[in-house]
Structure 1
Amino acid sequence: MREVDVSVRSLVALAVTSCLMALLLAGSLAASQGACEEGTDRLYVVCMTTVLASVVEQVGGPYVDVEAIVPPGFCPGHYDIRPSDIEAVRQADLLIGHIAVFPWVEDLLEAAGRSVDELHMLSGPWNTPYAAISYVSNITALLCGHPATDSTMRDYFTSANSSLCSELHDLATELEAKADELGVSSVKVICMQWQVSFVSWLGFNITATFPPPERMSPADIEALVELGKREGVAIVIDNLQSGTEVGTELAREIGAEHVVLTNFPGAIPGTGTLADMIRYNAGQLFNATSRWTALSGALRDLENQLRALRDENTLLWGAVAVLAIVAITEGIIIAVWRRRA
């Protein structure tokens, strides 16, 4: 009997040990698989600006880690590299740039031991819906064509590309309809050069443009003020990353609305994607147009009232003049009559 009990206890202990080993093995395999997926299924993409990084993040989703070198509030032409930028570029699976290969970009690549040929450069404007679609498509192609991209990742990138392009098409239709409704083609503006493509796409009447502040003289600003007053400019448009001092002065001197637009996602709260940024910029222009139209309407009403008052005054003074003439005439007649009498 004692031998049977010992045998049973041995079997139970063996079964428990086997179960524990199985659980440990399963956990180890799961952890190993997760680590493998985490290590191989994500591309580390380093972009020169948030324009590119925002698109990579939207297209890549869970299959990418993204970093932007230049913060959204900075002008890319005037950037000073940091040690962390060098390490990011050194570790990147994919490097993407646009606008230009500035001297600091060349220095950054050299410091990181990377070649300029490894930097995939995109070109052209990006701040209209249709231009943004081009950027989305080009970045999707870069992600899909990377050697580490598998079929699952490629399907995800392609699907995201389709959704984003559809969203941007719808946004274009929405903004074009609103611009027509407000009649922006009759609204005269003075526009900072880096926002011309967006402002002209919406249909505003661009009376003049101006370059970055460092390229302008006091005489240039005075000439724009005179032009703005003469042409009845309604809105002065600045670009946030280029500075807003010139636009502020122009708007104040002309008596126009002042609007500050952004060319880089993330510089202003609520502008984390290209679509968000474009919608924000359009909203700023549409609101300024509505304010100017309302002000113009109020001024027209005031002018009409003043004109009516002038007309009433003219009639009043005419009546006074007639009465005065009559009174003088009567006085003369009475004087003559008395003299004869």
Structure 2
Amino acid sequence: MRKQRILVPAVVVLSALTLLLAGCGTKAQKESRLNVATGSTLIASIVEEIGKDRVAVTNIVPPGVCPGHFDLKPGDVQKLSTAQLLLYHDWEGKLFSENLLKSVHNDKLVAVPIAVQGNWMAPPVQKQAIEAISAALCQHDPSNQAFYQENARKALAEVEAKEKELRAKLQAANVSQVKILCAEMQQGFLKWAGFQIVGTYGRPEDLTPQKLQELLRKGREEGVKLVVDNLQSGPDAGKGLAEELKVPHVVLSNFPGAWPGTDTWAAAVTKNVDLLLEALKKS
């Protein structure tokens, strides 16, 4: 008796081949991604938004600490051993020194400082950062230039839309009439938001008794309604001032990812504005 030949429908064969090729493509795509190390989540979030699946991002400095006071550990340095591109803030130069980069023994690593000044939480500064990081990615990976540029264009449009949304909320709360004391590291963002900044202060260790008395005097004379701290430079720096003035104390973050659910700039800046408006309701 002749054995019957089993005919496999062509559609099944094609489906199997498609899945096989897709799997190979995914593996190849992962292997061809640009490996980018970043000096902060501010940079990392932009690289991820512009590069999407064509980049693999490894951030070095955690979002809850100040990059200027962060000490690299061996594990952090190891992250640079497989990176092709390191993007860091120009003021992080001491952290990512030439000697440190040489010690990694990675000849493929290219380090690029991002020289964008100001508070990146403020939308105008965020747009400058997107343009600078997009340019760095395009220069290092020209084969994906059109892809990066298109995503940067979309990111800029999203920042403009978010700025318009937040402006409306801040204006509705009449923040231009609200006087505040704040940490120096939040001054740029709060100025963009429209608050009246009566006085600023540095880290907790910089707050001398004389400085505290001066801030208290200004706060009382001007009728300050809020005291705003910066999470990364000292979340409790102005807590005593707020207690003495009997006004709400607010802690904002200058980096995405410091609060749960704030891994992107848009989520982080929205959180900051919401915290300010919630505090104003209590003032």
Which of the five TM-score ranges fits, normalised by the shorter chain?
0.7 to 0.9
Shift of 1:170: 1.0
**Paired positions, count:** 274
Residue type of the partner of 2:117?
A: G
* Bigger CA radius of gyration: 1
Q: What is the DSSP-based 3-state SS (H/G/I as helix, E as strand, rest coil) of the residue aligned with 1:246? A: coil
Counterpart of 2:31 in structure 1 is: 39
Matched, 1:140 2:134: yes
CA-CA distance at 1:25 after TM superposition: 10
Q: Choose the corresponding residue for 1:76, options 67, 90, 95.
A: 67
Distance 2:282 2:20 in 1: 65
Distance across 2 between alignment mates of 1:178 and 1:250: 27
Alignment gaps of 5+ in structure 1 = 17-23, 293-341
Shift of 1:158: 2.4
Structure 1 residue 102: Cα displacement: 4.1
CA distance in 1, matches of 2:217, 2:191: 22
Instruction: Identify which of 98, 111, 118 aligns with 2:110.
Output: 118
Matches of residues 171-250 of structure 1 in structure 2 within 5 Å?
A: 171-250=162-241
1:15-71, CA deviations, whole angstroms, 9 ceiling, x for partnerless residues?
A: 99xxxxxxx99998776555433322x100000111000111111111111011000
Structure 2 SS opposite 1:241: coil
Does residue 63 (structure 1) correspond to residue 54 (structure 2)? The answer is yes
What letter corresponds to residue 198 of structure 1 in structure 2? Answer: F
Partner of 2:100: 108
**Over aligned residues, Cα RMSD in angstroms?**
2.8
Which structure is higher in helix share?
1
Return closer, same or farther for 1:270/1:28 CA change in 2, 3 Å cut-off. closer
Cα shift at 1:202: 1.2
Describe the SS at the equivalent of 1:256: coil
User: 3-state SS of the aligned residue for 1:209?
Assistant: strand
TM-score, scaled to structure 2: 0.86
- TM-aligned CA distance change 1:290 to 1:145, over 3 Å: same
**Separation in 1 of the partners of 2:26 and 2:281?**
55
| 2:39 is the alignment partner of 1:48 | yes
Kindly state the Cα deviation for residue 219 of structure 1 after the two structures are TM-superposed.
2.2
Structure 2: which 5+ runs fail to align? 9-15
From the superposition, tell whether residues 27 and 135 of structure 1 become closer, same or farther in structure 2 (CA, over 3 Å): closer
Residues 183-332 of structure 1 mapped to structure 2, 5 A cutoff: 183-292=174-283
1:231–1:66 CA distance, 2 compared to 1 (3 A): same
2:157 maps to what in 1?
166
